[in-house]
Amino acid sequence: MAAADGMQVYPSFHWPVRVYYEDTDAGGVVYHSNYLKFMERARTERIRSVGFELDELVRDHGILFVVRSMAIDFKKPAHFNESLSVSADFKDLRPASIVFHQVVTRGGSEILAEAEVKVASVNASTFRPMGVPECLLERLTAAPKAVGLG
Amino acid sequence: MAAADGMQVYPSFHWPVRVYYEDTDAGGVVYHSNYLKFMERARTERIRSVGFELDELVRDHGILFVVRSMAIDFKKPAHFNESLSVSADFKDLRPASIVFHQVVTRGGSEILAEAEVKVASVNASTFRPMGVPECLLERLTAAPKAVGLG
Amino acid sequence: MAAADGMQVYPSFHWPVRVYYEDTDAGGVVYHSNYLKFMERARTERIRSVGFELDELVRDHGILFVVRSMAIDFKKPAHFNESLSVSADFKDLRPASIVFHQVVTRGGSEILAEAEVKVASVNASTFRPMGVPECLLERLTAAPKAVGLG
Amino acid sequence: MAAADGMQVYPSFHWPVRVYYEDTDAGGVVYHSNYLKFMERARTERIRSVGFELDELVRDHGILFVVRSMAIDFKKPAHFNESLSVSADFKDLRPASIVFHQVVTRGGSEILAEAEVKVASVNASTFRPMGVPECLLERLTAAPKAVGLG
């Protein structure tokens, strides 16, 4: 869709996640560390959506992405069998790393968890920092293709 | 041991964790979200070490502890079969929640991951905030008993 | 499609599963117990595909499905980023339980894992056996709707 | 203890497992696939108890142990915070593989899960079958050292 000033406005990237028993705990809700799995799935799919496969980046370029740090708020519990949606938006570029802003939502707008995740680009053998590939950066910082629950 | 001014100085609480295949990923290292599991084990054992059982707190007092937020740095990778140690020190008290400072170390001093974890005390049925039991707080803020790898 | 004798022949039910880092281990392949998660996702989706939601069965009818036993062969390893497909076919009815035959495949026909899974229908509070609801059985034993990668 | 005929009779190998939130699901009990993790921990510790480290077997001998098949009965549910015990007894030798008999118990004698697990010895790079090292076999088939909850 076109905004008033002619700028393209794109819907954000979202990846659908269904809550299975494997994701829950005896408190009856999604176990907190599993939101990190959901968020990594969304980052992986976000990167795939702009044309890159993580296994090819390792095999062909020796580049591995590792989570360096994250700050996460667990706002509301998710329950078994619910349909969630996870975003993975480019937020910032740091030396040899990318910062993603990610939100887990239910029903389109209810925020259950929100995080900033710093992902470093490292050499797959030595785990030393490597520059993030330019072409990946260009596509990630461009408008996302809407997929999933979008 | 006794410090110069007569104050008791206690070694910190540590909980030993062995890295099994279940904890690792295809990058050859511990999968990032599993540090959150290690840290929760250490918090659970820290609370047990001062005389409280989490299942009794739910059953007898309707109190559930849930992770509200955390900031975590993944500094160095841990590998299959390594012996790690996880601390769980009381850092701060907030309304209806406790902030823990937690460090995952290898070989006694090498820091692999470090986090601040805010754990809220909630009603086990309604998930509404409840005050942290006074007696638990008193014991957590007192010097820890050294256990595990300490 | 119609078979020669006029009987309806339906494609089998399949549920797509993408392999993420969370699913792999330091051996570079999917960690063996995660195939059980993949299989449960497929059973859950199979049951949903015939019109039943597991959370509603607990809430409205007090029925919980639990895995009672399974025999599983791990034939070939799956790797990070691969697209797999998981079937969940009704095989047999036992007192208060259903036996599923499940296969994890890659590329449509290469079998990676195969299992027989006996799932018991129990009272969600007491964990005592309960009869499998008739209407669920009828629909499960009828031809599956093709979904997923089918 | 000494048996009547002078043969040494050893208590079986057991490995203690504490149930944390990470192990449970919304049914309030240990999620079924997590028993496979518990059993692998016990096998790893059993092998360690006779003097072998799995990471050294990969690094120094290129040998990886992978689960080839298993038959498992889930008899009774385990709950959050319970102390369990997991055995890992040598049962049988097959070409390039070992069959373990494993039992998860509570309170010393109550059996919660029981399995036969066939573990293959494979080349860590090619995943092709390799003979199980003789010295490992000898020690595994000898009487176990009692450790853990024994």
DSSP string, C31-95: -TTHHHHHHHHHHHHHHHHTT--HHHHHHHH-EEEEEEEEEEEE-S--BTT-EEEEE-EEEEEET
Domain with B45 in it: what CATH number? 3.10.129.10
Taking only the tens place, the pLDDT of each residue in C74-92 is 999 999 999 999 999 999 9
Does the pLDDT of residue B87 top 90, yes or no? yes
Angle at A31 between CA A25 and CA A36, to 5 degrees: 155
Average pLDDT, chain A: 89
The per-residue pLDDT for B144 is 56
Split at pLDDT 50, 70, 90, the class of D117 is very high
- Substitution target in C15, C22, C29 with the highest count of A β-carbons within 10 Å is C22
* Cα distances (Å, whole numbers) of residue C10 to B32, B62, C2, C39, C49: 42, 51, 9, 21, 14
Q: Residue D37: list chain C partners with CB under 8 A.
A: 33
Contact D64, D58 (CB under 8 A): yes
The per-residue pLDDT for B98 is 96
Q: In chain B, which residue's Cα lies nearest the Cα of C79?
A: B26
Split at pLDDT 50, 70, 90, the class of B95 is confident
Taking only the tens place, the pLDDT of each residue in D62-103 is 999 999 999 999 999 999 999 999 999 999 998 899 999 999
- Nearest C-alpha of chain D: how many angstroms from C70? 5
Does the pLDDT of residue D26 top 90, yes or no? yes
Neighbours of chain D (3+ CB pairs under 8 A): A, B, C
Split at pLDDT 50, 70, 90, the class of B12 is confident
In a domain, B52, yes or no: yes
- Non-local (6+) Cβ contacts of A108 within 8 A are A85, A149
Reported as type and span, the H/E element at residue B56 is helix B54-61
For residue C71, the number of C-alpha atoms closer than 13 Å in the C-beta half-sphere is 3
- Substitution target in D29, D30, D32, D102 with the highest count of C β-carbons within 10 Å is D32
In a domain, C127, yes or no: yes
Three-state secondary structure call for residue D56: helix
CA–chain centroid gap for B79, Å, is 21
Work out the percent of chain C whose per-residue pLDDT is above 90.
Answer: 76
* Cα distances (Å, whole numbers) of residue C67 to A52, A98, C43, C45, D75: 38, 42, 11, 16, 10
Neighbours of chain B (3+ CB pairs under 8 A): A, C, D
The per-residue pLDDT for D146 is 45
Split at pLDDT 50, 70, 90, the class of A3 is very low
Q: In chain A, which residue's Cα lies nearest the Cα of D28?
A: A26
- List the single residue in D22, D55, D81 with the smallest CB-CB distance to B81: D55
- Nearest C-alpha of chain B: how many angstroms from C78? 11
Pairing state between β A63-74 and B63-74: antiparallel
Split at pLDDT 50, 70, 90, the class of A143 is low
Taking only the tens place, the pLDDT of each residue in B98-136 is 999 999 999 989 999 999 999 999 999 898 999 999 999
In a domain, B22, yes or no: yes
Beta bridge partners of B6: none
In a domain, B9, yes or no: no
In a domain, D130, yes or no: yes
Q: Residue B77: list chain A partners with CB under 8 A.
A: 66, 127
Split at pLDDT 50, 70, 90, the class of D45 is very high
Which residues span the domain enclosing B125? Answer: 14-141
Taking only the tens place, the pLDDT of each residue in C7-56 is 444 457 999 999 999 999 999 999 999 999 999 999 999 999 999 999 99
Does the pLDDT of residue A15 top 50, yes or no? yes
The per-residue pLDDT for A12 is 77
* Cα distances (Å, whole numbers) of residue C105 to C27, C40, C73: 20, 15, 13
Average pLDDT, chain B: 89
Q: How many domains does chain B divide into?
A: 1
D60 touches chain B (CB under 8 A): no
In a domain, C35, yes or no: yes
Q: Residue C36: list chain B partners with CB under 8 A.
A: none
Chain-chain contact of D55 with B80 (C-beta, under 8 angstroms): yes
- List the single residue in A26, A33, A80 with the smallest CB-CB distance to D24: A26
Whole-angstrom Cα distance, residue D135 to residue D121?
Answer: 14
Does the pLDDT of residue B93 top 60, yes or no? yes
Work out the percent of chain B whose per-residue pLDDT is above 90.
Answer: 75
Does the pLDDT of residue A2 top 70, yes or no? no
The per-residue pLDDT for B10 is 46
Chain-chain contact of A25 with D29 (C-beta, under 8 angstroms): no
Whole-angstrom Cα distance, residue D65 to residue D57?
Answer: 9
- List the single residue in B33, B70, B124 with the smallest CB-CB distance to A37: B33
Chain-chain contact of D34 with C33 (C-beta, under 8 angstroms): yes
In a domain, A70, yes or no: yes
The per-residue pLDDT for A144 is 55
Chain-chain contact of C32 with D72 (C-beta, under 8 angstroms): no
Taking only the tens place, the pLDDT of each residue in C19-31 is 999 999 999 999 9
Whole-angstrom Cα distance, residue D144 to residue D138?
Answer: 11
More confident site: D12 or B60: B60
Average pLDDT over residues C123-127: 90
Does the pLDDT of residue C73 top 80, yes or no? yes
In a domain, C84, yes or no: yes
Q: In chain B, which residue's Cα lies nearest the Cα of C23?
A: B25
The per-residue pLDDT for B1 is 36
Taking only the tens place, the pLDDT of each residue in B36-58 is 999 999 999 999 999 999 999 99
The per-residue pLDDT for C142 is 84
Chain-chain contact of B44 with D20 (C-beta, under 8 angstroms): yes
For residue B115, the number of C-alpha atoms closer than 13 Å in the C-beta half-sphere is 32
DSSP class of residue D35 equals: H
Closest CA to C141 of C99, C88, C65, C90: C90
B:65-104 residues touching chain A, CB 8 A cutoff: 66-74, 77
As a whole number of angstroms, the longest Cα–Cα distance in chain A is 51
Taking only the tens place, the pLDDT of each residue in A34-73 is 999 999 999 999 999 999 999 999 999 999 999 999 999 9
Three-state secondary structure call for residue C25: coil
Work out the percent of chain C whose per-residue pLDDT is above 70.
Answer: 87
Average pLDDT, chain C: 89
ipTM over 0.90: no
- Residue C97: CB atoms within 10 A of its CB come to 20
Chain-chain contact of B27 with A72 (C-beta, under 8 angstroms): no
Burial state string for B72-90 with b = 16 or more CB within 10 A and e = fewer than 16 = bbbeebbebbbebbbbbbb
Respond yes or no: is residue A25 known to be catalytic: yes
